[in-house]
Amino acid sequence: MTSLTDLTIAEALAALDKGEFTARELTGAYIAEVEAGRSLNAFTTETPEQALAMADAADAARKAGEAGPLAGIPLAIKDLFCTKGVLTTASSHILDGFTPPYESTVTSNLWRDGAVMLGTVSLDEFAMGSSNETSYYGPVENPWRAGDGKSRVPGGSSGGSATAVAARLALGATGTDTGGSIRQPASFCGLAGIKPTYGRCSRWGIIAFASSLDQAGPLARTVEDAAILLGSMAGFDPRDSTSIDRPVPDYRKALTGDIRGLKIGIPAEYRMEGTPAEIIELWDRGIQWMKDAGAQIVDISLPHTQYALATYYVVAPAEASSNLARYDGVRYGLREPGNNLIEMYENTRGAGFGHEVQRRILIGTYVLSAGYYDAYYLKAQKVRTLIAQDFEQAFGRVDAILTPTAPSAAFVPGEKSDDPISMYLNDVFTVPASLAGIPGMSVPAGLSADGLPLGLQILGRPFEEETVLRVGQMVEKAARFDARPGAWWKEAA
Amino acid sequence: MSVDTKTVARIAHLARLRLPEDKLEPMAGELNRVLSWVEQLSEVNTDNVPPLTSVVHARLRQRDDVVTDGDRRDDVLANAPDAQNGFFAVPKVIE
């Protein structure tokens, strides 16, 4: 018999419905995996008692014929979602001890549908990073290792989420994506991860990084599982002023396995100089799979692609510097004493924020400061318009766009931490869609020469997550990605 | 445009961030590297291009002007590093 933790969400739901095992048994199996996987450092706070109580409630609901669509499914929650009564840190020292008295809308939706909370998982501090190395609680290990046996980063910022799901410590996880923070870790850990359209999932109760870009979404082991989770996470919320009031489709039903006649765009500008050959080869294989499935390949141009990263690294720090002004040692978290109020603010923020966060706050403050606003911030917002228009024009001709997710497989810790720009370049393929607010998904498509997962990215029109998921599942099918990391962390324990 | 240590100290103060003296120089270097990299945006012709203010084409909603929440003083104060007599407490502001 396969172990309980090898099942997908779809399989586990079917087995729970048939009574093959209980939610308590499934949750118990995951709690044991979480404990055995502590050396991966994915979890910040484990909540096993709460998990078992939620599992019992799911079992009772199922008995009464009232099981929700996720009843009894154990999940990990990125530690950026406020969870009532459970420490929420954003992986930052400055939120020491912060225990929210309320629950984020997205997690409320998951619990409403019967999901089980295993605990909170680590991220790059305030979701700023692409490697999960900037967490105050230490780096997270990718469960995948290359032939050289060296550690790899899980990607970021949803690195704890990706490691937890890939290492079978959770059936699925929530993530957030501001410039690639769901898609890039999904690619690095061999998972399906979708960032929906801006406005699809409520941002209420998610600790803000860059409000015009932040969007929640799931990480899961299959496209179908991601579709199931997204269906519960998405929805209108009057408490988020940018939430969109439109019905949530049945995303699972969108997975028809039929993309015949669909037009798939291949953007010339994503064939960047310096991209490793194996990434280009993977992309070319993906294009062939689309043709084989009956889709029509269309060459397109997204002419402002090369300016997306620079635009992002003006807009995101500007918004972050404003959002992070609230951490002042008065209302929650850390306080460092000072001789007066201003000194107390400065000492608290100097001690509470890590280096990467400080640098982004300073950049953001600078580009918004008098005399520089027009040259940097306003200019970037104008280029952002052009980037969004590139996509609008392309989507007049195609139904979806296929690209690589990241320019490399997971890298070795420390490899990029000395040079912010080389770290930022990791997001070169994911950032444009974030700036335009359109949905994007990463799906595992193959292994690198040294045995690490690589993902392909599917982009779609606003609110056409169904098309993105349908195409994503065709990539998944064609790739027949069934590799999984060896459980070396258990042998070490 | 190049940022010197004096400017870094000024921005850090604007952002209410304590930066030790010995960090000003390396931080100036990092900021200059990032700022000169984003300088490439000046190549883009943005004449008559409006700045993007929202990626979703939707009007901001209005709601009825009614009280929807409240009476949560203790919840609000529960996480404060220093709360006294139902208030947030801070170092003395006025002499």
Tens-place pLDDT, residues A100-130: 999 999 999 999 999 999 999 999 999 999 9
Class of domain A4-259+440-492: alpha beta
* A50 in reach of chain B (CB within 8 A): no
| Residues contacting B6, CB < 8 A, separation 6+ | none
Nearest CA in chain B to A347: B18
**Per the CB < 8 Å rule, is A335 touching B82?**
yes
Of A313, A344, A350, the CB nearest to B17: A350
Selection from A221, A186, A166 nearest residue A8 by Cα: A221
pLDDT value, residue A493: 53
pLDDT value, residue A148: 87
Three-class DSSP category at B44 = coil
Catalytic residue among A92, A135, A157, A434: A157
* A342 in reach of chain B (CB within 8 A): yes
**CA B43 to mean position of chain CA atoms:** 28
Catalytic residue among A91, A130, A161, A181: A181
User: Amino acid identity, residue A190?
Assistant: G
**Per the CB < 8 Å rule, is B1 touching A345?**
no
**Per the CB < 8 Å rule, is A341 touching B44?**
no
CB B79 within 8 A of CB A333: yes
pLDDT value, residue A419: 80
Three-class DSSP category at A169 = coil
pLDDT value, residue B37: 93
Beta bridge partners of A33: none
ipTM higher than threshold 0.90: yes
Of B18, B27, B46, the CB nearest to A383: B46
Q: Where are the domains of chain A?
A: 4-259+440-492
Tokens at A9, concatenated: 């969400």
Nearest CA in chain B to A308: B41
Active site residue A181: yes
Q: Where are the domains of chain B?
A: 5-42
- Residue A207's alpha-carbon distances to A215, A327, B77, in angstroms, are 11, 11, 18
User: Amino acid identity, residue B6?
Assistant: K
DSSP A83-126: BTTB---TT-GGGTT---SS--HHHHHHHHTT-EEEEEE--SGG
pLDDT value, residue B94: 79
pLDDT value, residue A2: 66
Radius of gyration (Cα) for chain A, nearest Å? 21
Q: What is the pLDDT along chain B (95 residues), one digit of tens a residue?
A: 589 999 999 999 999 999 999 999 999 999 999 999 999 999 999 999 999 988 887 778 888 999 988 999 999 999 999 999 999 999 988 77
**Per the CB < 8 Å rule, is B34 touching A420?**
yes
Q: Spell out, as residue ranges, where chain A has pLDDT lower than 50.
A: 1
Contacts of A395 in chain B (CB under 8 A): none
pLDDT value, residue A370: 86
Tokens 């019967």: give the residue. A114
Tokens at A83, concatenated: 């969870």
The full 3-state SS of A258-314, as one line of letters, equals CCCCCEEEEEHHHCCCCCCHHHHHHHHHHHHHHHHCCCEEEEECCCCHHHHHHHHHH
pLDDT value, residue A416: 85
